[in-house]
Structure 1
Amino acid sequence: MNKFIEIAGRIGSQRHLVAIRDGFVSVMPLIIVGSLAVLINNFPAVNIGGLSLDFVGSMNNLFGEGNWQGLGGSIWNASFAILGLLIAFSIGYNLARSYGIDGLAAGILSLASYIMLVPVTADWGLNFAWLGAQGLFVAIIVSIVVTEMFRYLINTKLTIKMPEGVPGGVTRSFQVLIPSMIILTVVAGFQLFMTLVVELSVFEVICELLATYLLHKLKWELLGKTVLLPATVMDQARRAVPALNGCQSANINRLMLALMSRS
């Protein structure tokens, strides 16, 4: 038992896991506020002792159908809708701080790299579908990889040193200039490869791989026959894990039909 506790303690103190934990904790206030906004906007009608209480209906009658929900919608846009962005910055910041390097620069680089990988819409805007919880897996991976690259480049002294007397902010900005150029160029090259060769975004690739893996895990052998758990299990998994919501239903259904045809 003591050995297990020791191993669990080592895993729990692993630098990257701590950074992920601290990253999510940092944005927890926004998550809670966004959750409350969603709850209020969709508060169900209740019956208490024969008395019907319909908060949403009452607010619609008072302010007009759906008008008042714009308040909660704006709060959601500033919390859950950009959760991937927030996590990318927060994890990069906390991981860099654990190494004793510029956390703000690492966080900004992680954020910029994440935005670079987000698919664009027809009018060249960022696809909002991948900025929120749907992009959490990519946000975690990008923030860790970018921050590790940043740490390596900073430690190789591939930096610009300013003379004495230059303000500290200017010195730090020029110190991270070359590492930033290298990292953003690498990420841009990766995005170009995904666009021209793979013809999918990294978000869609990870979603497909994750959905395929989970669906294979939902199969097991029973009395010599392959049994596939009901589709509702996957639906519940998507509800329980927000990051799975980016896996479009059409993709999941296609994968499930393919697995069933092999059974």
Structure 2
Amino acid sequence: MNRIMEALENVLMPIADKLNNNRYLNALKNGFLIALPLIIFGSIFVVLANFPFLDQLMSEETFAVYQNTLGAASDATMEIMGLFVVMGIGYKMVEERGGEAIYGAAVALGALLILTPQEAEGIEGVIPTSALGAEGMFLGIITAFVAAELYQYFVKKDFTIKMPQGVPGGVSRSFSSLIPTSLTLTVFLVIRIGFGFTGYETVQTFIYSIIQQPLTALGASLPATLVAVFAIQLFWFFGLHGQIIINSVMDPIWYSLNNDNLAAFQSGEELPHIVTKQFIDTFLVGSGGTGMTLVVVIAILMLAKSRRLRETGKMSLPPAIFNVNEPVIFGLPIVMNPLLFVPWLLTPVVVATATYFAMSVGLVPPPAGVIVPWTTPIFLSGYLAVGNHIMGAVMQLINVVIVIVIWYPFIKMLDRQYFGQE
């Protein structure tokens, strides 16, 4: 067993190190983090707009006015989340290179708007929100990367206007960025003009057809989800933050699926996807953190005789209620503990499979696209994530039972080992 662990460590450590130090993945992760408060704000008002029984307490006309009034919150945040992600990526890409980060955000946003057709439903001069939301997410990410790189390239080539001493700093920086910004945006204008002569007509159509649709379909499948979940657990076992590593790749796909469900939910249509960002965050991470360790902590407090385990459980319980589980991961420990290798890897895979099939046969509604803050305690998070439906909480309760069944023999073995040492 130790040889297997050593071999896995030798393989995973270099991979994780490269991923952690990759500036594109870091910028992507930080771009989503910048957008997250805005997305959560919009989600809160989606929940309020679709609160249970309100349609029965109000007249149809009053309820429609109520929903339309609160709808502005999600329209201005979740519907155009791609804008915030693009600005965040551009900002972080240039900041990491020591440049003027705010111009990185501005040039990334400008490049995306140049590529975006300004026509919606036959009306000229209108930018369709779909191009700035989930449908345009991948184009926005690619655009932000390329725009930031081009901007920094022109800056390093010293294509800048030098202002004399005594000119205010803000004015000087603005003129210094003029030529790099103009050259960068010109490149994107040429790209837009070029695509006008192709069968795709717009860059959006090309990216969506060639890249986004196939990746989204793959990310929505159960096998791809299980691979991602397994990889998260495997990285964490070796003390590496699995979410940061895997989510930086998967988040664009999961958020896109999430937004598709949100649009369907708000329109009263059938939800198209089961796997979304909230499927992962609510029914796996939202049960005590990665590996669903809140249940493990509770089981320890109920079953353990060892003082070491009980003290670890007491210390870990309060943060685990809010899905913070580093105390139990490193205190039990789970990291590099061969005895806990099997339940740690197996449990989320089984839970994800059970949740997927429960939703696919209609026992539990799929996630409604509402972004529930990841610190929301279990059962409340499940209720909110599926559109204020009790079956979301029931599914989390079923998952609790699954976790206990899988972990029980391993907790008992670990308890006997520690108790014997004591």
| Correspondence 1:1-263 to 2 at 5 A | 1-3=8-10, 4-43=12-51, 45=52, 54-58=53-57, 60-61=58-59, 64-121=62-119, 122-124=122-124, 125-210=126-211, 211-212=213-214, 241-243=254-256
Alpha carbons of 1:89 and 1:57: their partners in 2 closer, same or farther (altered >3 Å)? same
Please list every run of 5 or more consecutive structure 1 residues that lacks an aligned counterpart in the other structure: 46-53, 219-239, 247-263
Q: Which residue of 1 aligns with 2:347?
A: none
How far apart, CA to CA, are the structure 2 residues paired with 1:12 and 1:163?
A: 41
Segment drifting more, 201-210 vs 17-26? 201-210
How far apart, CA to CA, are the structure 1 residues paired with 2:181 and 2:217?
A: 39
Q: TM-score, normalised by structure 2?
A: 0.48
How far apart, CA to CA, are the structure 2 residues paired with 1:172 and 1:203?
A: 32
How far apart, CA to CA, are the structure 1 residues paired with 2:197 and 2:14?
A: 47
Q: TM-score, normalised by structure 1?
A: 0.75
How far apart, CA to CA, are the structure 1 residues paired with 2:173 and 2:103?
A: 9
Could you list the structure 1 runs, at least 4 aligned residues long, displaced by more than 4 angstroms after superposition: 212-218
Contact 2:54 2:63 in 1 (8 A): no
Shift of residue 72 of structure 1? 2.3
Shift of residue 99 of structure 1? 0.6
Residue by residue over 1:201-260, the C-alpha shift from the partner in whole angstroms, topping out at 9 and shown as x without a partner, is 212111111335676998xxxxxxxxxxxxxxxxxxxxx8343678xxxxxxxxxxxxxx
Shift of residue 2 of structure 1? 2.8
Segment drifting more, 1-10 vs 86-95? 1-10
Letter in 1 for 2:83: L
Residue by residue over 1:25-60, the C-alpha shift from the partner in whole angstroms, topping out at 9 and shown as x without a partner, is 0111111111122222223x4xxxxxxxx13332x3
Backbone CA RMSD of aligned residues: 2.3
Alpha carbons of 1:136 and 1:216: their partners in 2 closer, same or farther (altered >3 Å)? closer
Contact 1:96 1:147 in 2 (8 A): yes
How far apart, CA to CA, are the structure 2 residues paired with 1:5 and 1:20?
A: 21
Question: What SS does structure 2 have at the residue aligned with 1:64?
Answer: helix
Contact 2:34 2:84 in 1 (8 A): no
Residue by residue over 1:177-219, the C-alpha shift from the partner in whole angstroms, topping out at 9 and shown as x without a partner, is 111111111101110111233342212111111335676998x
Question: What SS does structure 1 have at the residue aligned with 2:59?
Answer: helix
Contact 1:110 1:143 in 2 (8 A): yes
Contact 1:117 1:201 in 2 (8 A): yes
Alpha carbons of 1:215 and 1:35: their partners in 2 closer, same or farther (altered >3 Å)? closer
Residue by residue over 1:99-134, the C-alpha shift from the partner in whole angstroms, topping out at 9 and shown as x without a partner, is 100110111010011111112223221112211122
Shift of residue 77 of structure 1? 1.5
Alpha carbons of 1:157 and 1:194: their partners in 2 closer, same or farther (altered >3 Å)? same
Which structure shows the bigger proportion of residues in strand conformation? 1
Aligned residues: 215
Identical-pair percentage: 29
Could you say which structure has the larger radius of gyration?
2
How far apart, CA to CA, are the structure 1 residues paired with 2:48 and 2:256?
A: 23
How far apart, CA to CA, are the structure 1 residues paired with 2:108 and 2:168?
A: 25
How far apart, CA to CA, are the structure 2 residues paired with 1:172 and 1:243?
A: 36
Contact 1:134 1:242 in 2 (8 A): no
Alpha carbons of 1:14 and 1:55: their partners in 2 closer, same or farther (altered >3 Å)? same
Residue by residue over 1:51-106, the C-alpha shift from the partner in whole angstroms, topping out at 9 and shown as x without a partner, is xxx13332x33971311112321101111121111111110001110110011011
Contact 2:27 2:93 in 1 (8 A): yes
How far apart, CA to CA, are the structure 2 residues paired with 1:184 and 1:213?
A: 28
Question: What SS does structure 2 have at the residue aligned with 1:200?
Answer: coil
Q: Which residue of 2 aligns with 1:233?
A: none
How far apart, CA to CA, are the structure 1 residues paired with 2:61 and 2:198?
A: 51
How far apart, CA to CA, are the structure 1 residues paired with 2:141 and 2:47?
A: 27
Residue by residue over 1:141-167, the C-alpha shift from the partner in whole angstroms, topping out at 9 and shown as x without a partner, is 000000000111000111100000000
Contact 1:41 1:56 in 2 (8 A): no
Contact 1:162 1:174 in 2 (8 A): yes
Contact 2:38 2:77 in 1 (8 A): yes
Question: What SS does structure 2 have at the residue aligned with 1:164?
Answer: coil
